[in-house]
Amino acid sequence: MWVREVKRFVRSKSRIVGSLGQPILFLVALGYGLGPVFAKAGQGNYLEFIAPGIIGMSIIFTAIFNGMQVIWDRQFGFLKETMVAPVSRLSIMVGRTLGGATVASLQGVLVLIIAIIAGFRPVSWFGIAPALGIMFFIALLFSALGIMVASKLKDMQGFQLIMNFLVMPLFFLSGALFPLQNVPDALLLVARFDPLTYGVDALRHFLLGSSVFGIVTDISVLVVVTAAFLFMGARFFSQIEV
């Protein structure tokens, strides 16, 4: 299941190109467009600031919509064929989640490469290796979330509505586009309940050498929330009626 999801993504060239369009637009339009304003405010290079956030955005969009594949397979009968295989439903769910997380992580790597080409420079090249681990944690978390939600739905329209309602607030409230220092307390409180906030913060720690919450807190939250979503996703997936 894991390998199948990765192969499906690699074969879909249009999906790869299409999923890169939005991150490139954000990097170029915001990175260069708002760069002078950000610099005048004494905050440094805006392209370098938003690069980790855009990487997180590309990962969350790809990972969370992995759940749409579950609904697609359910509607066309492919899921039923998978369910009758001599494999536990837990193994199927974990395989799908890992496959979606791997694909989303590859997406994040592509965006990182594009950001470097655009002018982004990490504070240390040695920080890229642990940053890749954070990318996979973010992808695993939201891939599990996507499958968890998809397990309770039967139509793609409902899934798209719920995901759009979740994805954009999760992205914009994570501090991906603005510093969380000196923001209103109410906004910071909401950001603390956004799991993507800690993923972006951890990426900034390894790529830029700066962090708001601290790397220990970031990793702890990612691990706990990922484990919770995996548990609930496995539970919901095991209850699917095909």
Report how far residue 98's alpha carbon sits from residue 144's, in angstroms, rounded to the nearest whole number: 9
Structure letter (DSSP) for residue 30: I
The amino acid at 140: L
Distance CA 136, CA 191 (A): 21
> What's the pTM?
0.85
d(CA 97, CA 202): 22
**Which pLDDT does position 182 carry in this prediction?**
79
- pLDDT computed for residue 181 by the predictor: 83
Q: Which parts of the chain register pLDDT below 50?
A: 9, 11-12
Task: Give the pLDDT confidence score for residue 217 in this predicted structure.
Answer: 93
pLDDT in tens, 96-122: 888 888 888 988 999 999 888 888 888
CA 19 remoteness from chain centre: 12
pLDDT of residue 130: 93
Give the pLDDT confidence score for residue 32 in this predicted structure: 77
The C-alpha angle 210, 134, 191, rounded to 5 degrees, equals: 60
Distances (CA, A) of 38 to 98, 115, 136, 175, 190: 38, 18, 30, 15, 24
Written as six digits, the tokens of 149 are 């939600």
Question: What's the mean pLDDT when you consider all of the chain?
Answer: 80
Q: Report the amino acid identity of residue 85.
A: A
